[in-house]
Amino acid sequence: MEGAEPLGDTIYLIDELEIVPGQLDGFLKAFERDYRPGAESRGQRLLQRLVTPPIDTGRLADLAPVAQSVILIWELDGLAGFWGMRSQNATSEVAEWWREAGAFFVSRSRRFAASPEAVATFETIGRMNA
């Protein structure tokens, strides 16, 4: 795969976590301390760290708890970045993070994405020896 420029097309990784009401700050602190540095060392670059709905629930103490989600958008350096990340994430430290972070969220999803143009490029590479 060496020298194939299209392999540099960015792959995005999108995490979405529905946070236990009242646990947003705790999650974000744990995330910055216990997960982000390791993820970045595996080649994940954090592009966005978003909260939805975008409200400060601390100011809504008289209302019923509001379910908020955190959306994390990461980028990887193409296929080399993807497989580089995958070759390093089967560790006990990563497993422990997700196990312990489970106390902060109700549910989560993780998806990979690419631009439509990049999908076409990846499809082409995946059919080079058709």
Partner 1 sequence: MNRRCVAQVVLADGADPRDAEEVAQALLSASEELGAVRASHASVHYDFAVGGGELTWDLFLESEATAGASASSLGAALVGVMNGDRLGELLPSSLGSLASRVERVEFAQPELIASGTNAPGLVGVKRTLWMRVNPAAPPDLVERFEAETPILADAIPAIRNWRWSRISKRGSGDFGEEDEEGEGRATGSKAEGGEALRWTHLWEQEFETVDGLQIDYMSSPVHWGFIDRYFDPEMPDCIIDPWLAHLACPETAPVLSWDLDR
* Amino acid letter for position 74: W
What is the rounded CA–CA span in Å between residue 89 and residue 128?
28
CB of 56 to partner 1, least distance (A): 29
Among the listed residues 111, 108, 107, 105, the one whose alpha carbon sits nearest the alpha carbon of residue 30:
105
Q: Which residues of 35-44 are buried (b: 16+ CB within 10 A; e: fewer)?
A: bbeebeebbb
- Binding part of the chain for partner 1, among 26-34, 52-60, 66-74, 80-88 by CB under 8 A, reads 80-88
- Please tell me whether residue 7 binds partner 1 under the rule CB under 8 A: yes
Binding of residue 82 to partner 1 (CB under 8 A): yes
Which chain residues interact with partner 1 by CB under 8 A?
1, 7, 11, 79, 82-83, 86, 89-90, 94-95, 98, 108-110, 112-114, 119, 122-123, 125-130
